[in-house]
Structure 1
């Protein structure tokens, strides 16, 4: 495994992380604690040290609770735990952006994660209007001083949101999380240059384009999960036709497409880590192997 410094933090994170949105049950599968433990134990064996989650990944902090149960039996110091705030899913879904509401969310997340601190606490895809809240950022700075948060970050909802990215230093945020993959390169235009200028870490989410870049699907496939089943037949086939073209023209022979897609993200100098989701220890192994691919500028990721 390879590691990179996360922006201006003192954190060295694995270039492959674990995205845990799927633990909340929205990816067409309900997880058990045993399954989550198996995934995270295998991740640790492979040198992965970054877990990304959020309080709204599943009702009642479900993803965070799975992770917390695991951490309670492991060495907390071995992990970089990133979570997010701004949305609340208990008996129903709602937004929660006031300083007082986020303060409550933080305490609930700490309890669910069974930890005294969160390494990276991220503003979660909120509007520019709720972002501009001095009371919120003052409260979060006090939480840093109290040791409950080690670093702040911003998970931008739109991957061209340069407004929030440019203001990262003003609110003491040290990392940006953004959608970035071979099918969606929008951050390269403005967001990444701003991140480089401010020395912000970058967490690339959805690096496999919701599975389209896994190489497993072909035009005509149907999806049942809550994310992709909302796409039109035309949209699905258009994406998969492009993926087939990419696989034929860009992915070197003998290289797994999903691993190539992760390595493709990591070649950009702004990107610190990718955080693909996974359903099994086997998928963790496949993701981790992408760290052994090297992208030569002007070429394609190839085996070292």
Structure 2
């Protein structure tokens, strides 16, 4: 396993880490603590030491499983959770310091931990990034020993740029993949200048970049890849990175043709992300332990050549950029 510095936190984290949106079951399936335990322990056994979760994942069950892992292992496992999405309606005015404090304390209780390594605002409305009192409450929580660091999970590049103006923001989590390539233009540079860690989510565009989907692939009614393709429930960009499904399938075939003789596309897509030095870690999900091993293969692949990087960019510029580049 290779490790990278997580910005000003100073933590050394596995460059391939784990996101837990669907841990314990595929999207739409009931949560299974037994399956979650298998996945989480497989990750720790493989050297993954950074686990990203959220209070809304499976209504808190994901946090419980992550806390159980941390308490059961002897090696350091760093926990990142998120708060804010429980607010209903999820609007800027609903964000209040007292509510956020309560969310953090609830997460500590669910995980049965004394302190959280990283708490991230969970994709709040853009207006929240202009309210200093929201960020100040996390300074108080840090002084009280309840959290170690603050981060933000953002939908838009502009939100990340605004967030890192606050000196207590140590990390930015965002969507970045072969189908979402805007961040390096400015955000990555500014984050590096301010020593802010970059956590990459949705690295495989909700599975599109595995290269295993087709026009005949079906998704369950409770799977966001079925019900959120147009942003019906949350930001459209979280599903297939905001790319129209049919267009994404066509672009995947072009990527395969442009990268002949390569291993499976999923590993190559993860290795592509790791080509950017500003990235601290990438957090692909897993719904079964075998996917952990598959994800980790990316770290062992050789660096992409200049020609391969250009080939990926060409497909993006022609097929994907007009659809997503200036939206997020």
Asked whether the two chains share a fold, i.e. TM above 0.5, the reply is yes
Distance 1:201 1:117, change over 3 A: same
Q: Which aligned pairs between 1:103-182 and structure 2 lie closer than 5 A? A: 103-158=101-156, 160-161=157-158, 163-182=159-178
How many angstroms apart in 1 are the aligned matches of 2:187 and 2:136? 25
How many angstroms apart in 2 are the aligned matches of 1:127 and 1:94? 8
Q: Give CA deviations for 1:235-283 in whole Å, capped at 9, x if unaligned.
A: 2221111101101212x52512111111111101221111011011100
Give the 3-state SS of the residue equivalent to 1:112 in structure 2: helix
Aligned pair partner of 1:81 in 79, 82, 99: 79
How many angstroms apart in 2 are the aligned matches of 1:253 and 1:199? 37
Residue 94 (structure 1) shift: 5.0
Residue 24 (structure 1) shift: 7.6
Q: Which aligned pairs between 1:1-304 and structure 2 lie closer than 5 A? A: 1-23=1-23, 27-59=27-59, 61-75=60-74, 78-88=76-86, 94=90, 96-158=94-156, 160-161=157-158, 163-224=159-220, 225-230=222-227, 231=229, 235-250=244-259, 252-296=260-304, 298-300=306-308
How many angstroms apart in 2 are the aligned matches of 1:14 and 1:93? 35
Where does structure 2 lack aligned partners over 5 or more consecutive residues? 231-242, 310-328
Count of residues in correspondence between the two structures: 293
Q: Please give the root-mean-square deviation of Cα atoms over the aligned residues, in Å.
A: 2.2
Distance 1:216 1:114, change over 3 A: same
Residue 147 (structure 1) shift: 1.7
Give the 3-state SS of the residue equivalent to 1:170 in structure 2: coil
Give the 3-state SS of the residue equivalent to 1:151 in structure 2: strand
Q: Which moved more, 1:94-103 or 1:181-190?
A: 94-103
How many angstroms apart in 2 are the aligned matches of 1:21 and 1:169? 28
Runs of 4+ in 1 over 3 A off after TM superposition: 23-26, 92-96
Give the 3-state SS of the residue equivalent to 1:63 in structure 2: helix
Residue 168 (structure 1) shift: 1.4
Normalised by the length of structure 1, the TM-score is 0.89
Is the contact between residue 23 and residue 286 of structure 2 (CA under 8 Å) also seen in structure 1?
no
Normalised by the length of structure 2, the TM-score is 0.83
Q: Give CA deviations for 1:139-169 in whole Å, capped at 9, x if unaligned.
A: 21011122211111111122x22x5424414
How many angstroms apart in 2 are the aligned matches of 1:137 and 1:278? 31
Is the contact between residue 219 and residue 241 of structure 1 (CA under 8 Å) also seen in structure 2?
no
Q: Give CA deviations for 1:40-59 in whole Å, capped at 9, x if unaligned.
A: 11111111111001111122
Distance 1:113 1:300, change over 3 A: farther
Give the 3-state SS of the residue equivalent to 1:13 in structure 2: strand
Give the 3-state SS of the residue equivalent to 2:177 in structure 1: coil
How many angstroms apart in 2 are the aligned matches of 1:41 and 1:291? 19
Give the 3-state SS of the residue equivalent to 2:40 in structure 1: helix
Q: Give CA deviations for 1:181-210 in whole Å, capped at 9, x if unaligned.
A: 001112122222221221211001000000
Residue 293 (structure 1) shift: 1.6
Q: Greater helix share, 1 or 2?
A: 2
